[in-house]
Structures are given as C-alpha cells and as structure tokens.
Amino acid sequence: MTILENWRNLAYGEGLDDKGKEELWTEYFVIEKGIYEHILSKPEEVIEETVEDLAKRYGTNVQTITGFLDGINDSLKGYENPVETMDEKTVVKIEIDTEKLYYNMVEAKAEWLYDLPQWKNILTEEKKKEIYKKQKVSGTIVKGAKIGRNDPCTCGSGKKYKKCCGINQ
C-alpha cells in the first residue's frame, strides 16, 4: 500500500472513528496553514527534497506531508509530483503558481488559507477579487431559455414548435 493510499484510508476511510477523524483533520489544518505561511512568505523559492526531509522540515509525519502534496499538486508550475506512487525517498519539487494556488484555495472553500496575510505581498486586492470571482462564476450553471409550445420552432421551418420538432415531447 502506498503512502497516499494509507493517508486516504486514514483520513477518509475506515481507519478512525468520527472523533478520531475530526482530531486528524484539525491537526492537519494547523500543519497545512503553517506550511502555506512558510511557502507564501517566499513564493519564488523552489523546494526540492525527499518526502521524508520535507516532513521533518515542517515537523510532521510522511503521511500528513503526502496529504499536503496531494492537495497542492494542482497548483504547481507545469508539472505534478508522483503522489500516487511515491515513497519516503522520492524527491519532490514544490514550485507554486500563485494564481492557480489562490484559485484552488477559493475552490476548496479554505478561507483560512486564502485569507492568509502573506497573500498581500503576492497578489493585489484587485487580482484576488478577479480570481475569486472567476472561480465562483465557473461553478455557476446557466440554464438555456426554455422553448414554449407555441413559440416558433428552432429549426427555422416557420411552424410552431408543438407542430414540428416538439411533436413527440
């Protein structure tokens, strides 16, 4: 079983009861926030080291750092780490795309992350609002206008919809 499978089983599966999962996630969110505070304080820095060393750097275990890497993978510049198959000795690279990261944080509804004070030095308020709005609009479903029975048919025949393409509906 890979590290990621272990993490997912623990966090989402049968590994813990509800109270245990709540404690796990509470602890994870604190660690995650600390890691993002560090990464966002130096957004140009490229971190490249083994999963084990990364876990030591941030004072956590390999499973938790794997969960973090799984979450940040979509926000990296032009590549993804092999989170599905990696082990403790796999070298991973963290080079964030700040706009993509902010977008993904908004999408995940992680207010405690996209409201971090470090964002003030990275993105302007206008840019943050633009990304926020772009993400919110992307999840909005717009229904097309409904064709009434007595409206002209959309095929252009000139007949009423109910006598043409809508006859079987």
CB burial of residue 107 (10 Å; 0-12, 13-18, 19+):
middle
In a domain, 48, yes or no: yes
Distance CA 27, CA 65 (A): 12
In a domain, 154, yes or no: no
In a domain, 121, yes or no: yes
This prediction has a pTM of 0.78
Which amino acid is it at 160? K
In a domain, 169, yes or no: no
In a domain, 157, yes or no: no
**42-84 pLDDT tens trace:** 999 999 999 999 999 999 999 999 999 999 999 999 888 999 9
Distances (CA, A) of 130 to 81, 101, 126, 141: 28, 14, 6, 19
Whether residue 1 has pLDDT greater than 90: no
Q: Report, in angstroms and rounded to the nearest whole number, the Rg of the chain calculated over CA atoms.
A: 23
In a domain, 165, yes or no: no
pLDDT number for residue 52: 96
In a domain, 20, yes or no: yes
In a domain, 66, yes or no: yes
Distance CA 107, CA 20 (A): 26
Can you give the residue range of the structural domain that contains 130? 3-138
Counting the structural domains of the chain, the total is 1
H/E run at residue 104: helix 98-107
**80-105 pLDDT tens trace:** 899 999 999 999 999 999 999 999 99
